[in-house]
Chains A and B, each alone.
Chain A
Amino acid sequence: MAALPKRIIKETERLVADPVPGINATPHEDNLRYFDVTIHGPASSPYEEGIFRLELFLPEDYPMSPPKIRFLTKIYHPNIDKLGRICLDVLKTNWSPALQIRTILLSIQALLGAPNPEDPLANDVAQRWKEDEKAAIETAREWTRTHATV
C-alpha cells in the first residue's frame, strides 16, 4: 500500500485531538484507512441515548472518492438498511473532495435526527414511517434500547 497521504494523517490527528461532540473515530493500528466510529443518537430523536457503532474506510483515491461507511449497530431508520448501508447524497453523487470525515459523520448524525422516508433505502421501514409515524418512532426507540445501549 502506498504511503498515507498527508491529508489523511492531518484529518486523523484533528479527529483525535479535537473530536466532534458525540462522535468518536479511531483508526485501526494496522490499517490507518480503517476507522472504528461511534455516533451518539441526537437528543430528542428516537435514537437518543443510543450509541451506534459504524465502520469507515477511506478508499485508495480518497478524497477524490467518498469514504465507505456502514452502520454496525442495528438501527430502525428509513434511510439505513438491514446491512447498515446508508442512503445519504453526500456519500454518493454529492460527494465533494472538500468534505472530510468529520463533516460526513456530522451529516450522518443529522440524518438520525431527521429521517427522510421520501428517499428510502429500507422500504418496509419507510412505508411504516409514512403510514404510522408514531408506531415507527416507537419501534426505533425500542431498537435503540435493545441494540444501541450498553
Chain B
Amino acid sequence: MAFSSVRIFQFRNLDDTEIVFTDKDIYLIGENGQGKTNFLEAIYLLCVGSSFRTRNESLLIKTGFREMSLTADFSDEGIIRKIQFKLDRGKKSIRIDSKQIRDRRELLAQFPCIAFTHEDINYVNGPPALRRLFINQTISLYDASFIDSLKTYNRVIKLRNKALKERRSDLLDIYDRQAAESGLEVQKKRIKLIEEFNSTFSYLFRNISGYNINLSIRYSPSWKTELSSDAVLSFIRENRNRDMMYKTSTTGPHRDKIGFYADGRNYAATASTGQIRLISLVLRASQAAFTADKSGLKPVLLLDDVLLEMDLKKRRRFLDYLPEYKQAFFTFLPDEGLVDYKESGPLYRVENGRISGEEI
C-alpha cells in the first residue's frame, strides 16, 4: 500500500490538516521539535495500530482535547481504500473501509511498516531484553501464531514464578511442562528466524558499511538442551531448586542471549558509537528486507533523521541497499544537503505543528 492522503485531527502537536502525497519518496523538513517525528508516528499508527514511541496512548491526543483521529486514503493494487485510526475517550478503534478491525494482527499482516529511529541503537547496546524484543517483533511481522506462543509462555512464567514464591511443588510439576512446551515453540522459531535473518543481515552490513567483516547475530538460548520437550522438561526440573531459591524462573526463552559477533568475537562490545549506529540501521534495513521477502508485501519505510548519522558514501550505499518499498518517509533538518537525494518534486515543511507542501 502507498498513502495518497492523510487527514490529521487533534493529533499530538500537529495542526488539523489534510496532506496529499503523489510521490513514493516523501521528504519532511524541519527543525527539531516541530512535529516531523509526530507525522511519522501518524503513518506508523495507521499501518501498525500502535505507536513506536509510547505505550501511553493518551499522549497521542492533542493537549486539552479528548479524541483524535487519523484518516488516510491508500492505494491497494490500484483500488483506493480508506483506513482510520481513532482514539475517543481512551477507546481505540481502527477501521478499514469503515469496517472495524478486531485483531491488530490483521493489520500487521496487511501493512508492513518499518520505522528507523535513533532509539534503535538500544537494540544493539541496550539490555538483552531489547534484543529479544527485536527478534520477537521480526517474527511477529510475518508469523501471527508466534505472538500466541509468546503470550502463553509469558503467562506460564508469571504463574510459575508465583508458584515458586509459594513453594507449590505440585503446581510446578504442571507449570514446568507448560513452560517447556510453549517455551520450546518460542525457541525453535527464534532459532529459525535468526538463521534466515543472518544471511540478509551479514550481506547488508558488509555492503553498507564497506567493512570486510562478516557480522552476524548469535543466538545463545538459555535452554542448551536437545530441542525436545522432554529434554527441556528435565532441564527445567534439574534447575528447580535454584529457581526455588531465587523465587523466579532462572531459565527459559525470557533469559535468552542475543549478540552481534564477528570472527567469534562480540563485535558490539568493542564497537564505536558510529559502528553501533550503523549496526542498528542495518538491523532495521534487514528487518524490512526480510519482512518484504517473507510476506511478499513491499513495506512502508519511515526514516527519522537517521541518514544524518552516516557519511555521504555510507548514505548512498544505505539507500541503494534498502529493499524494494511501497513508500518511504524521510525526515531532514533544514541545513542537510537534501539535493543529494532529490532534484525535484514536492517537499513538506514542518514548522510548529504546521505541515505545508512546496515544490523544489
A, B from the same assembly? no
Binding site for A on B (CB under 8 A): none
* A interface residue numbers (CB < 8 A to B): none
